[in-house]
């Protein structure tokens, strides 16, 4: 599996990650997102449920990069200024998701030695 990458929606700018992010699993497999949001709609009459629907909404990726360079932080933040951009979990694959930065900010912390830790959440459009 190759490193993940970002691209603008017009494919005018492509950025391949320098390193894999820290993931909540034993292996770096971004092809299946770790989280999904679910909503449940219940239709009831007199306290008795007569119909139930489960709506699967969007994929959500919580990514955390440790000890990355300032140039990587700047490259990633350039995509976050876009309304939507493309996220390829595997740069060798053609599978992509149209995503946006959830929330208004990224969590970037300067570490000893001049590197940065960066945490952000991507949600599928």
pLDDT tens-digit map of 61-100: 888 888 888 988 898 888 888 889 998 887 787 888 898 8
Average pLDDT, the chain: 80
* pLDDT for 21: 64
Q: Is residue 53 part of a domain?
A: no
Range of the domain at 99: 5-29+61-124
Q: Is residue 47 part of a domain?
A: no
* pLDDT for 86: 92
Q: Is residue 39 part of a domain?
A: no
Buried b vs exposed e over 43-72: b needs ≥16 C-beta within 10 Å?
Answer: eeeeeeeeeeeeeeebbbbbbebeebeeeb
Angle at 24 between CA 108 and CA 28, to 5 degrees: 95
Mean pLDDT of 10-24: 74
* pLDDT for 26: 42
How many domains, in total, are found in the chain? 1
Longest C-alpha distance within the chain, in Å?
Answer: 64
pTM for the full model? 0.68
Q: Is residue 78 part of a domain?
A: yes
Q: DSSP labels for the chain?
A: -PPPEEEETTSS-EEE-SSPPB-SSSS---SS-SEEEEEEEEEEETTEEEEEEEEEEEEEEEEEEEEE-HHHHHHHHHHHTSS-EEEESSTTS---EEEEESSS--EEEE-TTS-EEEEEEEEE-
Q: Is residue 51 part of a domain?
A: no
Q: Is residue 38 part of a domain?
A: no
Q: Is residue 22 part of a domain?
A: yes
* pLDDT for 25: 44
Q: Is residue 103 part of a domain?
A: yes
């Amino acid at each position: 599996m190759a490193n993940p990458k970002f691209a603008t929606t017009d494919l005018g700018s492509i950025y391949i990650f320098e390193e894999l992010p820290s993931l909540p699993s034993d292996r770096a497999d971004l092809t299946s997102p770790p989280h999904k949001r679910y909503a449940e709609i219940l239709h009831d009459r007199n306290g008795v449920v007569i119909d139930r629907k489960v709506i699967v909404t969007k994929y959500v990726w919580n990514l955390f990069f440790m000890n990355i360079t300032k140039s990587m932080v700047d490259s990633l933040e350039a995509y976050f200024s876009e309304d939507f951009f493309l996220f390829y979990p595997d740069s060798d694959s053609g599978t992509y998701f149209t995503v946006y930065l959830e929330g208004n900010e990224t969590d970037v912390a300067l570490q000893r030695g001049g590197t940065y830790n960066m945490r952000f959440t991507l949600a599928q459009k």
